[in-house]
Structure 1
Amino acid sequence: MENGAKTRIAAVGDIHIRETDKGKWVDYFKEVSAQADILVICGDLTDTGDEVEAQVLVEELKACTIPVVAVLGNHDHEKGRHKLIRQILLKEGVHMLDGEAVAIKDVGIAGVKGFGGGFDKHMLSMFGEGAMKAFVQEAVDEALHLDRALARLDAEYSVSKKIAIMHYSPIKETVIGEPEPIYPFLGSSRLSEPLNRRKVDAAFHGHAHVGKLEGETSGGVKIFNVAIPILLKSGYKYPFYLYEI
């Protein structure tokens, strides 16, 4: 790619593919392929975490002629078959990231599922019962995995642009509109620290079906909530967000 040329990223989350969706997504993925250079899917690829739904998705993705990068979401973990779902998608050429990174064209992409834990001054602390400590540790671990993936982009890939994809939100701003009592289950500010320190250009997430499309971290990293309900509410006929980098 020529220096200065832009790469078009189509970003979407929470597609919730069902067993009955055969043929439903063909036109969607054709439109994505016509408008973008890379498709990123920010979790909840399946509706109930069933491998049959993953098989439907890979059939629908045959209409997509551009590289696809994805992370899993909480729905994909529902039945404990997330490893199988991941393998089904990997076998069909989808770049499945879980603390890993990939470079496509001149864009480096790091991905994690992320986790909850709350935002800013209201983040849960690692104190009290073992179950609470385990919950917070999961968020810490996901942030560490994201940091390692971004570090790998810096060390091993010659890319001038970096984005991150996750399912849970790294900031409060893009989940505002959801009931405040569930904020700790929608994301964690711990995820924003690696984005700021590694100077990521933009990050994309889903999970919060009610919220805001755009926000930014304290370090100025652009954050986009690309859950399909958010995109539909914003007026997108084909619900994916097109970001040029």
Structure 2
Amino acid sequence: MEDTKVTRIAAVADIHVREIDKGKWTDYFKEVSTKADVLLICGDLTDTGDEDEATILAEELRACTIPVVCVLGNHDYEKGRQKLIRQTIQSQNVHVLDGEAITIGNVGFAGIKGFGGGFDNHMLTMFGENAMKAFVQEAVDEALHLERALSKLEADPFVEHKIAVLHYAPIKATVVGEPEAIYPFLGSSRLVEPLIRKGVTACFHGHAHAGTLEGDINGSIKVYNVAKPILVKAGYQCPYYLYELPV
């Protein structure tokens, strides 16, 4: 009997590359390249949102011989240099998505940063001060960006599987382990509807360093919190999660 062919997706988040990290990630990216077909980096690519950190990461990523799909995280926005960080890291092999999509083989990847706002019956609503409305509107806008990116994949006849790449969590289950008081700042259930409506196979995110590795939406869409601290705590020697999709 022939072995079932799969697309192997390696995923990690919150790598927080610093200026002193030159040479630190080369072996990591070489290792991932031997075990996977695609690498996802789900936000917080840099530690303080500095372009010099992005330059170090771009240099380290040259050791990666497989396609890389990234989104930015809140740390990458810290100094308002997110556009420069994206330009620095993006290359022919490294795709930094922000409301966009890319198809690799028969797998489509839609990427956004996402935002907070809380989960389920405890979601913040568009009511009250303008500052609160602006906070909620950011989550609404990110959900719309995700919807648009997934719609592009829906129109691609070659796409058999859709994968969502986020930084913020779409469900509460994968932030459990963090203090409940900060749940509203770790993600938003507003991100769930596009995932369901567009038939996403799986979703990967980070941000919640003390959260939970696995969860699901309605028992059908797998959600993985691949924040590096979670993978390290779970005993991954080379911290990345390997997910296999049938070709």
TM-score range, shorter chain: over 0.9
Q: Which runs of 5+ in 1 are unaligned?
A: none
CA distance in 2, matches of 1:242, 1:88: 27
Q: Is the aligned partner of 1:138 residue 2:138?
A: yes
SS in 1 for 2:76: helix
Query: What is the aligned partner in structure 1 of residue 24 from structure 2?
Result: 24
Alignment of 1:94-113 (within 5 A): 94-113=94-113
CA distance in 2, matches of 1:234, 1:241: 10
Alignment of 1:81-160 (within 5 A): 81-91=81-91, 93-160=93-160
Task: Quote the offset at 1:53 in angstroms.
Answer: 0.3
Please list the CA deviations of residues 180-234 of structure 1 after superposition, one character each: whole Å capped at 9, or x if unmatched. 0100000000111111111100000000000110000136210000000000011
Contact persistence 2:66–2:93 (CA under 8 A): no
Query: What is the aligned partner in structure 2 of residue 179 from structure 1?
Result: 179
Aligned length: 244
Please list the CA deviations of residues 68-111 of structure 1 after superposition, one character each: whole Å capped at 9, or x if unmatched. 00000000000000000001112464111000000001110000
CA distance in 1, matches of 2:152, 2:203: 17
Q: Is the aligned partner of 1:233 residue 2:233?
A: yes
CA distance in 2, matches of 1:66, 1:11: 13
SS in 1 for 2:168: coil
Structure 2 length as normaliser, TM-score? Answer: 0.96
Q: Which runs of 5+ in 2 are unaligned?
A: none
SS in 2 for 1:41: strand
Query: What is the aligned partner in structure 1 of residue 203 from structure 2?
Result: 203
State the identity as a percent: 70
**Given residue 77 of structure 2, which amino acid in structure 1 is its aligned partner?**
H
The runs of at least 4 consecutive aligned structure 1 residues that moved more than 3 Å come to none
CA distance in 2, matches of 1:115, 1:209: 16
Structure 1 length as normaliser, TM-score? Answer: 0.97
Please list the CA deviations of residues 150-196 of structure 1 after superposition, one character each: whole Å capped at 9, or x if unmatched. 01001135210110000000000000010001000000001111111
Contact persistence 1:116–1:139 (CA under 8 A): yes
**Given residue 138 of structure 2, which amino acid in structure 1 is its aligned partner?**
E
Query: What is the aligned partner in structure 2 of residue 38 from structure 1?
Result: 38
Contact persistence 1:58–1:92 (CA under 8 A): no
CA distance in 2, matches of 1:91, 1:65: 12
Contact persistence 1:73–1:113 (CA under 8 A): yes
RMSD of Structure 2 on Structure 1 (CA): 1.4
